């Protein structure tokens, strides 16, 4: 079992509620380190010369796009993207002892308990340690103050990126999600076109449609109904907004309002993180 995994389980078992005050390096030092890490990994290095590693967290309402943006950064920085939502879905599909209990929770839009999430995350960290993974980008954890305190007690999170999107867009995105039952690809049939707030620009998010061979094989997640999505958003606001304040008070929170779809939002997110996309740099030089 990895050292972090043991520590997470130990803290959870004792219900540790530490009031830690850790000075954050963000934005200047953390953004510089992120930019250096991108350069180093593209040059074939496993980590920065100082041995630093990315330890980031993505926060945001269900359906905001945490997995999409965390996954892109994961590939760019060369660290694993660990999504607790994926861990829960894998457990649901495994037909293991947790499957029935999880199905009851998820299908009613409730949050999975700290104990279950911590056990799933600990197992994933153990597997990563065995494979020699360095650092991580967490997506979906922590979701409660207790989880945040447990995590803060065992590792120094560098940065917490809080993605924000208007609720009407969130609802449409969640209801429009589809997955191909054959190839596993994720798509979205929602076409979002919303008037700007306070005279601002319109928000347009085009659908992400499947190729022809996937059209007849699309399935909808059981928890992506309007009623369940609204309940998940309500639960999120009740329990997770204090987590945002937890990291805001420690100077680790970067709040990013998504201006639209991926083509519009991705370069602006990289700019907020002070990261240059090497792919764009090479295209400009060609």
Q: Which of 9, 232, 250, 252 is catalytic?
A: 232
Q: Is residue 43 part of a domain?
A: no
Q: Is 232 a catalytic residue?
A: yes
Spell out where the chain has E strands.
Answer: 55-59, 81-83, 136-139, 159-164, 177-180, 186-188, 192-194, 203-205, 218-219, 253-257
Per-residue pLDDT of the chain in tens (286 residues, 90 and over written 9): 565 666 566 655 654 333 332 233 344 444 444 444 443 333 332 333 333 478 999 999 988 989 899 999 999 998 999 998 889 888 988 877 788 888 888 887 777 888 888 888 888 888 888 888 878 999 989 988 989 998 888 778 999 999 999 989 999 999 999 999 999 888 999 999 998 877 778 888 889 899 999 999 999 988 888 998 999 899 888 888 999 999 999 999 999 999 988 889 999 999 999 998 766 654 444 4
- Which structural domain, as residue segments, surrounds residue 87? 3-10+26-38+52-165+237-268
Q: Is 9 a catalytic residue?
A: no
What is the count of structural domains for the chain?
A: 1
The SS3 of residue 286 is coil
Q: Is residue 258 part of a domain?
A: yes
Q: Is residue 184 part of a domain?
A: no
How many whole angstroms separate alpha carbon 189 and alpha carbon 179?
10
Q: Is 131 a catalytic residue?
A: no
Token pair of 175, please?
């209801």
Q: Is 177 a catalytic residue?
A: yes
Burial-class residue 252 by CB neighbours within 10 Å (0-12, 13-18, 19+). Answer: buried
Q: Which of 9, 41, 53, 66 is catalytic?
A: 66
Q: Is residue 214 part of a domain?
A: no
Token pair of 187, please?
């798509």
Residue 158: give its domain's CATH number: 3.40.50.300
Q: Which of 42, 89, 110, 221 is catalytic?
A: 221
Q: Is residue 212 part of a domain?
A: no
CA neighbor of 206 nearest in space, from 256, 260, 163: 260
Q: Is 143 a catalytic residue?
A: yes
Q: Is residue 254 part of a domain?
A: yes
Q: Which of 177, 179, 250, 252 is catalytic?
A: 177
Q: Is residue 182 part of a domain?
A: no
Q: Which of 9, 41, 124, 143 is catalytic?
A: 143
The three-point CA angle 153-85-103 to 5° equals 115
């Amino acid at each position: 079992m990895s050292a972090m995994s043991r520590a997470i389980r130990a803290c959870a078992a004792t219900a540790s509620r530490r009031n830690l005050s850790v000075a954050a390096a963000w934005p200047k030092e953390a953004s510089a380190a992120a930019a250096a890490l991108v350069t180093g990994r593209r040059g074939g290095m496993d980590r920065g010369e100082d041995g630093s590693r990315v330890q980031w967290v993505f926060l945001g309402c269900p359906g905001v796009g945490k997995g999409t943006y965390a996954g892109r950064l994961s590939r760019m920085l060369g660290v694993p993207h660990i999504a607790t939502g994926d861990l829960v879905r894998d457990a649901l599909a495994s037909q293991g002892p947790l499957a029935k209990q999880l199905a009851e929770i998820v299908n009613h839009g409730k949050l999975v308990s700290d104990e279950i999430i911590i056990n799933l995350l600990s197992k994933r960290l153990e597997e990563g340690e065995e494979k020699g993974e360095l650092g991580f980008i967490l997506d979906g954890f922590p979701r409660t103050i207790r989880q945040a305190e447990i995590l803060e007690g065992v590792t120094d999170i560098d940065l917490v990126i809080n993605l924000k999107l208007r609720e009407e867009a969130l609802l449409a995105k969640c209801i429009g999600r589809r997955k191909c039952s054959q190839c596993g690809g994720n798509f979205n049939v929602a076409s979002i076109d919303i008037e700007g707030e306070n005279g601002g620009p319109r928000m347009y998010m085009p659908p992400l449609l499947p190729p022809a061979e996937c059209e007849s094989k699309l399935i909808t997640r059981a928890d992506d109904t309007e009623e369940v999505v609204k309940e998940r958003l309500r639960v999120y606001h009740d329990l997770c907004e204090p987590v945002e304040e937890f990291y805001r008070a420690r100077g680790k929170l970067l709040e990013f309002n998504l201006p639209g779809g991926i083509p519009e939002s991705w370069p602006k997110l990289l700019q907020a993180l002070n990261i240059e996309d090497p792919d764009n740099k090479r295209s400009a030089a060609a």
